[in-house]
Chain A
Amino acid sequence: MAIINDILQGFLTTVKGMIVTGKECFVPAVTVQYPTEKRPIPERFRGMLVNDASICIACDKCVRICPVNCLYCEGEGKGKARRASVFTIDYVKCCWCALCVEVCPVDSLYMSHDYETVFTDRSQMIRDFCQDPIPPIGGRQKPAEESSDNPAEKKEGESNSGRAAA
């Protein structure tokens, strides 16, 4: 008798589960047809790490904090005129932790909203931001109250970087 009870119970509880599944037929689909249609990205999304070499002061803070040693930086000039002459990011090593973005004193480093990146070779994954400029991709903007404190810096950042509104 126990086995008949088991079969009956197994059938009944499975039907209960099927009802739950059946209800899903009437829920609108949420599937996104990816390459043509894209989901909106949150503002803090951490995509490819890029550096705006025109405002980078080559302070080396990011290089020191990077847990995987993916950054390399060389500077030119002294004091306020100091700028980066070589700034490379090795995307093979980068772990997208954004620790470098936090320590950056001039906000030249930021995580862009670019996530569709393809490389065919490891050497392409090392990018020098002093050689090739940043393509206009969306990235995180500075918080409003911070940028209003130094209007000069904000202007410079807007004109030079591809930090278009996300």
Chain B
Amino acid sequence: MITPAQPKPLQGEPLVVHMGPQHPSTHGVLRVELHTDGEVVERAIPNIGYLHRCKEKIGESIGYDAYVPYTDRMDYLAAMNNNWTWAMCVEKLAEIEVPERAEYIRVFVGELNRIASHLVAVGTYGLDLGAFTPFLHAFREREMTLDILEELSGGRLCFGYVRIGGVAEDMTARAMDMTRRFLKQFRAKLDSFNELLSFNHIFIKRTANIGALSGEQAIAYGITGPMLRASGVDWDLRRDEPYSIYNRFEFDIPVGQGLKGQVGDNWDRYWIRIREMYESTRILEQVIDGFPEGSHMGKVPAVLRPPKDAEVYVRTECPRGELAFYMISDGSKVPFRLKARGPSFCNLSVFEELTRDMLIADVVATLGTFDVVMGEVDR
């Protein structure tokens, strides 16, 4: 007697959906592999490497000063901070002194670029969640900061302004006036931006209590910058390991409090960036009031040859977290080994764990708060 074959039970295989690399809300060429079970994402694996340009190897083949334009193109939304970190690294390696005025200009452009970068972050985050108007408001304010930076450096995105030993060109009176005008109205603009997006109830419902990252988890994954602070860890290099002249200024470090939900959720990560912009305006006001006279460029030898076997690790607080350069010199015109630690890359490492068993729509909302710049992730 033949028994009919039993039908196999339905297999619950996950459906793999590829988000990116051309997806508008992955902020660049990031591909996320979503293993979905209906609406729920079981795993979201970020695939990187679409923008790899061998930055570290290039650094080992061209001179120290010629590498400045390459650092622009790492985190292209905060090029000034990247230039600055590179310049600080080489200065420490070759023991070059930077004049006081140059340090002031560096803090000035660094904080201005932080505002510009955070405005892109919060503006495009609204865009990810379907709010178009806040994006236009954010980019209008960013335009003003870019105008100031253009007045100083001549560029609008890749500045190449902070050079080894100082800055490329001196501060102008016109840039100071523009900054005063900008600062006068920026807080009010931020307040209206909050009305528009931050305290919108629909926005809060979409972001609060979703993708909460605990402080221990953040430290374990090496998360830095606004993401770490949003998780309740009070750590900022500008205050805890003051470089340049940050110890002269008074400012607070915003830490996530979980105002609308848990500590370290998406809304907290978004809110920390808004609060950092308020603090940056405070620093800028102090910088403008205390601009010293002097030279904008220190004494730099024509051919830079750092001492043999010198080794240096310099980290700074960039808008996305800690950017660091590690360098070994062999006494020649180029570094023997160069390693860059990009904050976006390290921050992205927690993405897979954070998005486990999340809804698809929330994956986009979570990725937006990471504020990744793919140029820096891949380098």
Contacts and interface: CB of A to CB of B under 8 A. Distances in A.
B192 interface: yes
A99 interface: yes
A97 B200 CA distance: 42
B145 to A, nearest CB: 14
B65 A99 contact: yes
Contacts of A20: 137, 192, 195-196
B334 to A, nearest CB: 12
Contacts of A95: 69, 158
A13 B131 CA distance: 13
A98 B66 contact: no
| Most chain A CB atoms below 10 A, which of B62, B65, B154 | B154
Nearest to A7: B201
A102 B160 CA distance: 12
B35 to A, nearest CB: 31
Nearest to B72: A97
Contacts, number: 75
A98 B154 contact: yes
Interface residues of B, number: 31
Contacts of A13: 199-202
A17 B150 contact: no
Nearest to A17: B196
Contact of A67 (B69, B150, B169, B205): B69
A143 to B, nearest CB: 9
A66 B205 CA distance: 52
B153 A67 contact: no
Contact of B133 (A10, A21, A67, A98): A21
Determine chain B's interface SS by DSSP, over half rule.
Answer: helix
Contacts of A16: 195, 199-200
A67 B62 CA distance: 7
Given A20-B195, A44-B154, A99 B160 contact: yes
A102 B168 contact: yes
Contacts of B153: 44
A66 B160 CA distance: 13
Contact of A99 (B66, B147, B197, B199): B66
A10 B151 contact: no
Contact of B195 (A17, A66, A97): A17
Contacts of B108: none
Given A44-B154, A67-B69, A97-B68, A14 B169 contact: no
27 contacts: A6-B205, A10-B205, A12-B201, A13-B200, A14-B200, A16-B200, A17-B196, A17-B200, A20-B192, A20-B195, A20-B196, A21-B133, A23-B192, A44-B151, A46-B154, A46-B155, A65-B65, A65-B66, A67-B62, A67-B68, A67-B69, A67-B70, A97-B69, A98-B160, A99-B66, A99-B68, A99-B69
Interface of A: 6, 9-10, 12-14, 16-17, 19-21, 23, 42, 44-46, 65-68, 95-99, 102, 111
